[in-house]
Amino acid sequence: MERLSDTLGRPVRDLRVSVTDRCNFRCVYCMPKEVFGRDHPFLPRAELLTFEEIERLTRAFAGIGVEKIRITGGEPLVRRDLETLVAMLARIDGLDLTLTTNGALLAPKARALKDAGLRRITVSLDSLDDDVFRAMNDVDFPVARVLDGIDAALAAGLDPVKVNVVVKRGLNEDGVLPMARHFHGTSVVLRFIEYMDVGHTNGWRLDDVVPAAEIVAAIDAELPLEPVEPAYRGEVANRWRYRDGSGEIGVIASVTRPFCGDCTRARLSADGKLYTCLFAVKGHDLRALLRGGATDEELARAVADVWSARTDRYSELRSEATADLPKVEMSFIGG
């Protein structure tokens, strides 16, 4: 099938589906408590896409060339019966299906997710130091339970298990090397992510970003690394493997080396808006079409029209000034 490209020649390849805007963590860089407090107006249930609506839209995206789906949030595992959605999406031919979670609820769920058809998973874990981790998730959640979740995912046969680490200057940068040591020699693939100015509530400053090159240098000094060729156009992570042959890591340099030129990702918010950039200010309302009785052809045409008109390249234009734009929150459209 001919894959659709946008105005800058970028094909649509990935779709990130946010299944909820809620989360059981309050990571300081994503859902700061001052903003996402007790009276924060989260989406009412009726506003969320149903699993059937998500499946229909996913099929429409598969029709224009999407081949990879990432279920995300908010925290996807707080959405009830998520394995039912996994089973529905796993039935769509030719789709690579994965999920990103904070791991808090993963230990008891890993087997059911695997049985439903999930093949791989990404768990976010910012520090192995319990005090630092509790401070970063800001709900006093112990690191041991996330490690249990990672073990359960490995035991269930989810493969690969990746671990996302957001690095923020002065907060968890000392934990980079301990993290590399911990997973060195295991099948777990670490992905270090530069702290980004997503949303407009996390008070982002360029000084808070630990450049990917610095992260690689810190690890390489003790555990020598060599670069790995990208597996495909648009691969987000720069991959490195240990010279001793015991695994690989990735770094996501979205701030210091923007990859807009190769960005093939579309994002669907929990209430059915299509965003063509993580840093978008506005989405396209697909739920209105779904609930207004659009046919499958009409849905497919709508997503194709949005993608063909896409111009976004925010990360290449980023500055301290653009950090203040009223961008949509990451917990709303997923990472």
Ligand X SMILES: C[S@@+](CC[C@H](N)C(=O)[O-])C[C@H]1O[C@@H](n2cnc3c(N)ncnc32)[C@H](O)[C@@H]1O
Binding mask 39-78 for ligand X (x = CB under 6 A): ---------------------------------xx-x---
- The answer to whether 6 touches 307, Cβ cutoff 8 Å, is yes
Q: How far is CA 103 from CA 23, 165, 279, in A?
A: 11, 13, 25
In the bound state with ligand SF4, the residue whose beta carbon lies nearer, of 137 and 307, is 137
27 binds ligand SF4 (CB under 6 A): yes
Q: Which of 75, 194, 208, 312 binds ligand SF4 (CB under 6 A)?
A: 75
Q: Which of 74, 247, 250, 283 binds ligand SF4 (CB under 6 A)?
A: 74
Contacts (Cβ under 8 Å, ≥6 apart) of 32: 26, 138, 201, 202, 203
Q: Which of 121, 123, 140 is nearest to 131 (CA)?
A: 140
175 binds ligand X (CB under 6 A): no
Secondary structure letter of residue 282 according to DSSP: -
In the bound state with ligand X, the residue whose beta carbon lies nearer, of 200 and 313, is 200
Given ligand X, ligand SF4, none, residue 72, with its beta carbon under 5 to 8 Å by kind, binds ligand X
In the bound state with ligand X, the residue whose beta carbon lies nearer, of 18 and 58, is 18
Contacts (Cβ under 8 Å, ≥6 apart) of 118: 86, 90, 97, 98, 99, 158
Number of residues that bind ligand X (CB under 6 A): 21
Taking contact as CB under 6 A, which single stretch among the options 42-50, 146-154, 207-215, 327-335 is the one that binds ligand X? 327-335
Contacts (Cβ under 8 Å, ≥6 apart) of 152: 106, 107, 108, 110, 111
Number of residues that bind ligand SF4 (CB under 6 A): 12
Residue 203 CB: number of other CB atoms within 10 A?
A: 13
- The answer to whether 73 touches 20, Cβ cutoff 8 Å, is yes
250 binds ligand X (CB under 6 A): no
Residues contributing to the site for ligand SF4 (CB under 6 A): 23, 25-27, 30-31, 73-75, 102, 124, 331
